[in-house]
C-alpha cells in the first residue's frame, strides 16, 4: 500500500496527530527535565527537608521566576494558559536555560522566540573559523546579522574578494568597482543579495540599524537604491553564481546560505564548485 493511502486510512479512522497535545506534552517533559537537573545550591537556595525526587521543587522555580506556584504548575502541566515573553524569560533564568533551550521553551509554549543577542561571542567565532577553514579549497565565509564579515578562508578572499576586519559584505559589493568585474552577471547577484537583505531586515524590525544601513547604501549606490525600491524578497537557501576566478577563467558555484541560530546571525556562506 502506498504511503498516501496509509495516511488517508489513518485519517478515516480518526488516528490523526494532535499537534497541540504533543507540543504540550513536550513542554511538560522539557520543564520537568530542566528542573530535575538543578539543585537548590545551583540557584542560591538552601536545601531544606528531605527530597523524594532530584532537582528543584515547582514552588522553588516559581519563587525564582517571580510567579505564583499555581501558575508555574499549570505551565509545567501543559495547560492551556496564556504566557508572555517576560514570564518565559523569567522561567528561563530560573532554570538556567541557555540560548538554545530558551528558544526551545518559547516554541513549546506556542510563542515565537525573540531574536538572539546581536553579539557573536569570541568562542563562536573561533568555532566558525574552524568550519570555514575546513571548507577549503572552496570559498566560505561568515557574516553577522548586518552582513559584517566575521571570518573567511583564503579562497573567499582571493576568489570572491571577501576581506575580514572592519568590512561589510553588502557595502563592498555595491561600492567596490572590483565587484562588477568579478561577477559576469553582477546585476543578477545584486538583486538576490538585496532581496536576501530585505528578508533579514524584516526579521529584526525592532533594530533601527537596518534602516540606517539601507539609507547609507541607497546614498552610495544607485543600483542598490533602485533594487531596494522594488521591495523584492529572495530565498536565502541556494543559488548558482558565476565568478571570474582567474584571468580568462570563469567558475560556477552553488552558493548556500545557512542560518546558524534561529531568527538570528551568524550566516554561513558556502560555495560549492559546479562540476564542469
Contact between 31 and 72 under an 8 Å Cβ cutoff? The reply is no
Give pLDDT, residue 1.
45
Give pLDDT, residue 265.
67
pLDDT in tens, 182-214: 999 999 999 999 998 998 888 777 788 999 999
CB count in 10 Å sphere of residue 18: 9
Q: Is 22 exposed, middle or buried (0-12, 13-18, 19+ CB in 10 A)?
A: exposed
pLDDT in tens, 220-264: 999 999 999 999 888 767 899 999 988 889 999 999 988 765 545
Compute the C-alpha angle 95/97/98, nearest 5°: 160
Among 107, 142, 91, 134, smallest CA distance to 266 is for 142
Contact between 75 and 83 under an 8 Å Cβ cutoff? The reply is yes
Tell me the whole-structure pTM to 2 decimals: 0.66
Q: What is the mean pLDDT of the chain?
A: 86
Taking the domains of the chain in order of start, what are their residue ranges? 3-108, 122-273
Query: Which residues lie across from 71 on neighbouring strands?
Result: none
**Helix count and strand count (H, E) for the chain:** 13, 5
If one compares 5 and 200, the residue with the highest pLDDT of the two is 200
What is the CATH topology of the domain spanning 3-108? 434 Repressor (Amino-terminal Domain) (1.10.260)
Give pLDDT, residue 13.
47
Q: How confident is the model at residue 10 (pLDDT cuts 50, 70, 90)?
A: very low
If one compares 265 and 46, the residue with the highest pLDDT of the two is 46
Name the percent of the chain lying above pLDDT 70.
88
Long-range contact set of residues 171-179: C-beta below 8 Å, sequence gap at least 24: 171/216, 171/217, 171/220, 174/217, 174/220, 174/221, 174/223, 174/224, 175/220, 175/221
pLDDT in tens, 85-143: 899 999 999 999 987 788 889 989 888 777 655 567 788 888 899 999 999 999 999 99
Q: Of the given ranges (35-49, 74-88, 136-150, 216-230), which has the lowest mean pLDDT?
A: 35-49
**Do the first three CATH levels of 3-108 and 122-273 match, i.e. the same topology?**
no
CB count in 10 Å sphere of residue 258: 13
Among 190, 186, 197, 188, smallest CA distance to 233 is for 197
Q: What CA–CA distance (Å, rounded) separates 71 from 79? A: 10
Q: What CA–CA distance (Å, rounded) separates 30 from 88? A: 14
From the candidate CATH numbers 3.30.1600.10, 3.30.450.180, 3.50.7.10, 2.40.50.140, the one assigned to the domain spanning 122-273: 3.30.450.180
Give pLDDT, residue 171.
95
Give pLDDT, residue 89.
93
Query: Which residues lie across from 141 on neighbouring strands?
Result: 152, 269
If one compares 207 and 8, the residue with the highest pLDDT of the two is 207
Tell me if residue 5 falls in helix, strand or coil.
Answer: helix
Residue 159 has pLDDT above 80, yes or no: yes
Q: What CA–CA distance (Å, rounded) separates 65 from 69? A: 10
Amino acid at each position: 500500500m502506498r504511503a498516501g493511502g496509509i495516511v488517508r486510512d489513518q485519517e478515516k479512522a480518526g488516528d490523526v496527530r494532535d499537534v497541540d497535545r504533543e507540543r504540550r506534552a513536550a513542554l511538560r517533559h522539557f520543564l520537568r527535565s530542566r528542573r530535575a537537573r538543578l539543585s537548590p545550591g545551583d540557584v542560591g537556595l538552601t536545601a531544606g527537608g528531605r527530597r523524594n525526587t532530584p532537582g528543584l521543587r515547582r514552588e522553588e522555580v516559581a519563587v525564582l521566576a517571580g510567579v505564583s506556584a499555581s501558575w508555574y504548575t499549570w505551565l509545567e502541566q501543559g495547560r492551556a494558559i496564556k504566557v508572555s515573553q517576560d514570564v518565559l524569560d523569567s522561567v528561563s533564568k530560573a532554570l538556567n536555560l541557555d540560548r538554545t533551550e530558551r528558544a526551545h521553551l518559547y516554541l513549546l509554549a506556542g510563542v515565537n522566540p525573540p531574536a538572539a543577542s546581536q553579539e557573536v561571542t569570541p568562542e563562536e567565532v573561533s568555532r566558525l573559523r574552524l568550519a570555514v577553514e575546513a571548507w577549503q579549497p572552496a570559498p566560505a565565509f561568515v557574516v553577522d546579522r548586518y552582513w559584517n564579515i566575521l571570518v573567511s578562508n583564503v579562497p573567499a578572499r582571493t576568489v570572491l574578494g571577501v576581506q575580514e576586519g572592519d568590512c561589510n559584505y553588502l557595502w563592498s559589493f555595491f561600492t567596490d568597482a572590483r565587484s562588477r568585474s568579478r561577477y559576469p552577471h553582477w546585476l543578477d547577484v545584486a538583486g538576490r543579495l538585496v532581496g536576501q537583505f530585505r528578508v533579514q531586515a524584516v526579521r529584526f524590525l525592532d533594530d533601527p540599524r537596518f534602516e540606517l544601513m539601507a539609507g547609507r547604501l541607497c546614498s552610495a549606490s544607485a543600483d542598490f537604491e533602485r533594487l531596494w525600491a522594488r521591495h523584492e524578497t529572495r530565498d536565502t537557501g541556494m543559488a548558482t553564481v558565476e565568478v571570474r576566478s582567474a584571468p580568462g577563467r570563469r567558475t560556477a558555484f552553488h552558493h548556500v546560505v545557512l542560518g546558524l541560530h534561529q531568527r538570528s546571525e551568524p550566516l554561513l556562506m558556502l560555495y560549492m564548485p559546479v562540476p564542469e
